[in-house]
Structure 1
Amino acid sequence: LNTDDTDTIPTPRRLAAYRTDGHDPATDNLIYNFGRYLTITSSRPGSLPGGLQGLWNARITAPWGNDYHSNINFQMLYWFAEAANLPECHRAMLDYLRAMREPNRIATREYLEAIGRKAEDASDGWIVYTSHNPFGGHGWQVNLPGSAWYALHFWEHFAFTSDTTYLREEAYPVMKELCHYWERNLKQLGRGGQGFESEYRPVDTSAYPELHDIAEGTLVVPNGWSPEIGPRGEDGVAHDQQIVSQLFANTVKAAGILRTDSLWAAGLSEKLGRMAPPRIGAKGNLMEWMIDRDPVTDHRHTSHLFAVFPGNAINSESTPLLAQAARRSLEMRLTSGDSRRAFAWAWRACLWARFGEGGKAHEMIEGLVRHNMLDNLLTTQNLPLQIDGNFGIATAMHEMLLQSHSGVIQLLPAPAPGWTSGSIRGAKARGNLEVDISWNEGQVTRWAVYSTAPTDETVTVKVNGLYVQTTPRTRAD
């Protein structure tokens, strides 16, 4: 298609052409802006957050109840809000989660009592089930680290806005109480992995050499599962470890920023240091479990890559060997059969963008359009409407143009080969910064970083492969 003429062509015809060759930057732009539209319309401040069908459910009995799924789907609906400079839309999710704390505590105490634990082991913290709703109902299996994943959203709202009042009054109390739950409920392994369990039963650790170097006192999340793969009731699953570790790390940072709870934060940091870390398997992959099982190839979830995205503990700059192993794991996940789900394409696009692979990221965008996008641009989950993919794929496009998770603002870290020229204005970076970028032939030609208030602090920007120190301007400059 001629990109100068595509706006006059009906969307179904544009998508039909896109599904043939996948090269239409104007349609990519339309999909990105459609993600902004969906964010604004489904997440007004003061409203309930969007469910699996957003506001567009047309059924009395909706697929999956149009509720909130804590194993990625609810989170994916709100990955885009901060990056798209729509932080007020993120509040619909954050306010809902704060309002649901007491029902979640009740459900948590009931869960602990059901497995023979003391209700006080919940302390003031809480966990969630895979499925939950605004009436306080929970269903379909406990998702142990789901609430810790939600805590990342509280932190990211601060990271993008630098609102310390919000951090002190709203985010930090939630993050702290979730840490309290895990301080009480992590499991301590013995030397060589003694005490390790799988399928809720003790394992003969002598049969697994990969456990032999486990240090005495290593901390693991117990009774886990790598949604939605492999054994249940297993200790130290990578997905669980990465999420709880990210919670601890962000909470320690928050306490330092607020200059509070220094002794407790030091203890939390010590526990973080004892969490079982990510490990590399015999096939060069990032291990999904503490036992080095054969990597799963045909599955929609990439649960063990949380630390790459939406987390940030694994990246090419500070953990290059783990990043290489994570990339190998992503290569092993096929894009056929079970993997053809809207959220799966979107998550993988975000992961490839974090690896700096714009071509691979765009292949995921093309896959979503071909297999999981309706002619009205809404995404599907094997036919039923499910719009998490809309938000996730727009997030991936943003990650291809701008990243700020590593403390450096990276301009055009993973542009698609067909995005030869373009511009973006007012994209949000962490640190309450707005960024304008113009590029041509894959090279940034103009750029600027803006702060909402005058500042003398410099930030590091990576542009065309070079690191530059700059002082953000204000829009009035």
Structure 2
Amino acid sequence: ANLQGLWNYSLIPPWDSDYHNNINIQMCYWGVEPANLPECYEPLVRYIREMAPAARRITRETAEFKAASGTPAPGWTSRTAQNIFGGQGFKWNKPASAWYALHLWEHYLFTLDRDYLKTTAYPMMKEICQFWESQLKVMNEGGSNFRTEDKKVTPEVVSRDLKDIRAGMLAAPMGWSPEHGPKEDGCAHDQQIVWELFHDTVQAAEVLDVDRAWRKELAAKRDLLVGPRVGEEGMLLEWMIDRKPGSGSWDPHHRHTSHLFAVYPGSQISPAKTPEWAEAARKSLLARGTTGDSRRSWTWAWRTNLWARFLDGRKAYEMIQGMIRYSMMDSLFTTHPPMQVDGTMGIVAGFAEMLLQSHTGRLHLLPALPGAWKDGSVRGLKARGNISVDMAWKDGRVTQFSLSSPAAQSVKVFFNGEEKTYALTPGVAVKER
């Protein structure tokens, strides 16, 4: 699905009706797996595989990716805008291929298709990791080799803000927090995506029991990445430097929430596993503005999913209301303006994420249920582990649910404030009333 999809109405469409990989094409597929439509994911997988050769070629030819010796970078990445013929446009979006890799891994998590993981996903994920292994910058103690294009960042600022950086930590060099701010080392957007790439690829190698020595090295590099950082005001930082609102390089109300990738669609930050980072991320989203940007329909969808991951059904519901009120046409397509399909597709994921979450290693039923939905039921949602979920609720509490999976497994389920463990057997649905 490109920006306007099959419904493009113009011979000269906005942004050439192409594929933008700094969120737009990815958002179109966020809801596919939770909505139990895995066959709809396959075109994205094919797209990634088929455009890789052209991306590989231009990556090898790009000087900024080459080693000091002039050796071309292994693997590949992409510019922000792409088309199916290998065309590339706008700025380099260096983490683009790493973001694609998350989708390759998620398809496995929802289907548990080992043949797909072995023959399709893992080889591409490994190659993308090799690109990033060649690109990461080894930081000096106190970040003394930190680079930025922001002329307001003086050596004194670096010394003050990066005093906790240890020698040997790894940073993505000269990145961008789409689509604003300075170009510099270690922006949160890049760090979080590369962390997710390395983390997921290590898990994939463990599932397949391959590349033992390399996956150990990759896990060590993952752990050396500069991680999420919390500023003086208690917010998750978008850059390594603790910039303040109104500093000229940061728009706190910007439509992109690039520095919150680790909350959604990533999984590095969650209230259950990393409460301090999650609270800082929540404050950062509040600072971004609570209503979304009515000029950009996809911002409502992203923020719906973010608020759902923060377990805040009221705020997530506000985002849905905002999309419908300000950015949705009678056809249910969303405006950008003009018409663009990513918001319509992405809000499907938001609905699913409010009702069922499975990214923390357990199933969480009704994690972000708004008061407006106090009674209801849903059938056919899909959780990671290839688990189908039906459930009903009344007055905000689960009254019954059913779990089924073609794979024998033990699963933890959190509902109504308590956690229980269930053994799933192929062909037999587990029911709780």
- Measured after TM superposition, the shift of residue 341 of structure 1 is 1.4
Among 72, 83, 108, the alignment partner of 2:34 is 83
- Contact 1:241 1:275 survives alignment (8 Å): yes
Matches within 5 A, 1:3-22: none
Aligned to 1:465: 417
Distance 2:317 2:168 in 1: 43
User: Given residue 8 of structure 2, which amino acid in structure 1 is its aligned partner?
Assistant: N
Equivalent in the alignment of 2:267: 312
CA RMSD of aligned residues (A): 1.8
**1:356 and 2:311 correspond:** yes
Q: CA deviation at 1:372?
A: 0.7
The alpha-carbon distance between structure 1 residues 119 and 79, as it changes in their structure 2 partners (threshold 3 A), is farther
Q: Matched residue of 1:122: which SS?
A: coil
1:426 aligned to 2:377? no
- Equivalent residue for 1:47? none
Preserved contact between residue 294 and residue 327 of structure 2 (Cα < 8 Å):
no
User: What residue number does 1:341 align with?
Assistant: 296
SS at match of 1:169: helix
**For residues 81 and 353 of structure 1, what CA distance do their matches in structure 2 show?**
17
Whole-Å Cα distance in 2 between the matches of residues 337 and 75 of structure 1? 19
- Output one character per residue of 1:255-299: Cα deviation in whole Å (capped at 9) or x when no partner: 111100000000111111110010101111000000000143221
Counterparts of 1:430 and 1:187, CA distance in 2? 34
2:165 maps to 214
The 1:113–1:347 alpha-carbon spacing in structure 2 relative to 1, beyond 3 Å, is closer
Letter paired with 1:401: L
Q: Secondary structure at the match of 1:418?
A: helix
After superposition, where does 1:69-468 map in structure 2 within 5 Å? 69-112=20-63, 120-123=71-74, 125-199=75-149, 204-208=154-158, 209-232=160-183, 234-295=184-245, 296-335=251-290, 338=293, 340-382=295-337, 384-453=338-407, 455=408, 457-468=409-420
Indicate the larger mover: 280-289 or 108-117. Answer: 108-117
| 1:171 to partner: Cα distance | 0.4
1:43 counterpart residue number: none
Q: C-alpha displacement at 1:120, in angstroms?
A: 3.6
Q: How far, CA to CA, are the matches of 1:201 and 1:371 in structure 2?
A: 38
Do the aligned residues in 1 keep the contact of 2:388 with 2:405 (CA within 8 Å)? yes
The residue identity in structure 2 corresponding to 1:95 is R
Matched residue, 1:37: none
Deviations, residues 68-100 of structure 1 (Å, cap 9, x unaligned): 101000100011111111111101011111011
Conserved? CA contact 1:217–1:274, under 8 Å: yes
Cα shift readout 1:404-441 (whole Å, capped 9, x = no counterpart): 00001000000121112111111100001101111111
Distance verdict in 2 for CA 1:336–1:259, change over 3 Å = closer
* Residues 1:323 and 1:289: Cα distance change in structure 2 (over 3 Å): same
Question: CA, structure 1 residues 337+286, in 2 after alignment: closer, same or farther (shift >3 Å)?
Answer: closer
Q: Is the 8 A contact 1:196 1:205 kept in 2?
A: no
Residue 116 of structure 1: CA displacement? 8.5
The structural deviation recorded for 1:207 is: 2.7
- Between the aligned partners of 1:113 and 1:185, the Cα distance in structure 2 is 10
How far the C-alpha of 1:472 sits from its partner, in A, is 2.3
Counterpart-to-counterpart distance in 2, 1:393 and 1:157: 19
CA distance in 1, matches of 2:150, 2:119: 39
Contact residue 239 and residue 303 of structure 1 kept, 8 A = yes
**Inter-partner Cα distance in structure 2 for 1:336 and 1:326:** 16
Name the aligned partner's letter for residue 323 of structure 1.
A
User: Using the alignment, how far apart are the partners of 2:426 and 2:113 within structure 1?
Assistant: 17
Q: Deviations over 1:94-145 (max 9, x none)?
A: 111101111001121232368886664421x101110000010000010010
Pair 1:393–1:365, CA change in 2 (3 A): same
Residue identity matched to 1:236: G
Quote the Cα distance in structure 2 between the aligned partners of 1:118 and 1:77.
40
Once the two structures are superposed, residues 164-187 of structure 1 have per-residue CA deviations (whole angstroms, 9 ceiling, x without a partner) of 111111000000000000111111
Residues 201, 98 of structure 1: alpha-carbon distance in 2 compared, 3 angstrom cutoff:
farther
One-letter amino acid of the counterpart of residue 360, structure 1: K
Query: Does the aligned pair in 2 maintain the 1:158–1:166 contact within 8 Å?
Result: yes
Instruction: Calculate the TM-score normalised by the size of structure 2.
Output: 0.94
Long gaps (5+) in structure 2: 246-250
Deviates more, 1:150-159 or 1:108-117: 108-117
Identity fraction in percent = 50
Query: What is the count of residue pairs matched by the alignment?
Result: 423
Counterpart CA distance in 2 for 1:133 and 1:387 is 16
Q: Which residue of 1 aligns with 2:248?
A: none
Structure 1 Cα separation of the partners of residues 66 and 131 of structure 2: 16
Residue 64 of structure 1 aligns with an amino acid whose one-letter code is: W
Find the aligned partners of 2:232 and 2:106 in 1 and give their Cα distance.
34
